[in-house]
Amino acid sequence: MLITFEGIDGSGKSTQISLLKEELNKKGHRVEVFREPGGTDVSEMIRGMLLNPEIDIDPITELLLFSSARSQLVAEKVLPLLKENVVVILDRFYDSTTAYQGYGRRSIPIDQIDQINATATHGLKPDITFYLRLTPETAAERTKNFEKDRMEQSGDSFFKRVYDGFESLSKSEPRFKTIDAEQDIEAIHAQILKATLSKLK
């Protein structure tokens, strides 16, 4: 089973993923977590480039680098683990490319992003996608003391478009489970755990 977490920076994805992993482990499931971009040697090297605030990257190059990191992760880790019935949790997947490079950067039209996503994922789709919905204002408040990487330096109007992108996906993709991320950590965890267990049965 493949579970993905999506939402803008600071929406609580990492917090919720570690709680979910712990709970699934307690119930005897083997769980592997990867972050995107990342999770393999090649993908972590690409991550270093993508998040480095010292370098300028053209929007289409950026799109292709995120996609390259993803293709390697899927081929090297995700597909083999799914074959072994491991529960794979991804901290972001191709919906982030639609939201950030499609809606946020407006690099190329969304229908072309969809095609690149289908290639980069080797056709793999999540069984369930938890969308942690938080306004860009609340997310900025939560992360105001964190150091900003290259993507996080993209500005308020960029993050508003990314938010709109996730909102649009949440309406068109039935696999999206939208969670109000303004709630406290335990309340959010309980909803995520319940939805995951009902899918795992």
> For the chain, what percentages of helix, strand and coil (3-state, to nearest 5) are there?
55, 15, 30
Closer residue to ligand ADP, CB minimum distance, 71 or 143: 143
**In contact, 70 and 120? CB cutoff 8 Å:** yes
Which of 3, 20, 69, 188 lies at the binding interface for ligand ADP (CB under 6 A)?
Answer: 188
Edge-first strand order for the sheet with 31-35 is 31-35, 87-91, 2-6, 128-133, 176-180
Answer for which of 31, 89, 151, 188 binds ligand TYD (CB under 6 A) is 151
Residue from 77, 92, 161, 177 binding ligand TYD (CB under 6 A): 92
Q: Which does 142 bind (CB under 5 to 8 A by kind): ligand ADP, ligand TYD, none?
A: ligand ADP
- Binding ligand TYD by CB under 6 A: which of 72, 97, 107, 129? 97
Cα atoms in the Cβ-side hemisphere of radius 13 Å centred on 6: 28
Q: Which of residues 134-173 bind ligand ADP (CB under 6 A)?
A: 142-143
Alpha helices in 74-151 (DSSP H): 79-83, 94-96, 110-120, 136-142
Task: Decide: is 22 part of the binding site for ligand ADP (CB under 6 A).
Answer: no
Binding mask 55-74 for ligand TYD (x = CB under 6 A): -----------x--------
User: Which residue minimizes CB distance to ligand TYD?
Assistant: 100
**At its nearest, how many Å lie between ligand TYD and the CB of residue 112?**
15
Is 79:40 a contact under the CB 8 Å cutoff? no
**Closest by alpha carbon to 61, among 49, 53, 77?**
49
The number of residues in the chain equals: 201
- Position 37 contacts ligand TYD (CB under 6 A): yes
Give the footprint of ligand TYD on this chain (CB under 6 A): 9, 13-14, 35-37, 66, 92, 96-97, 100-101, 151-152
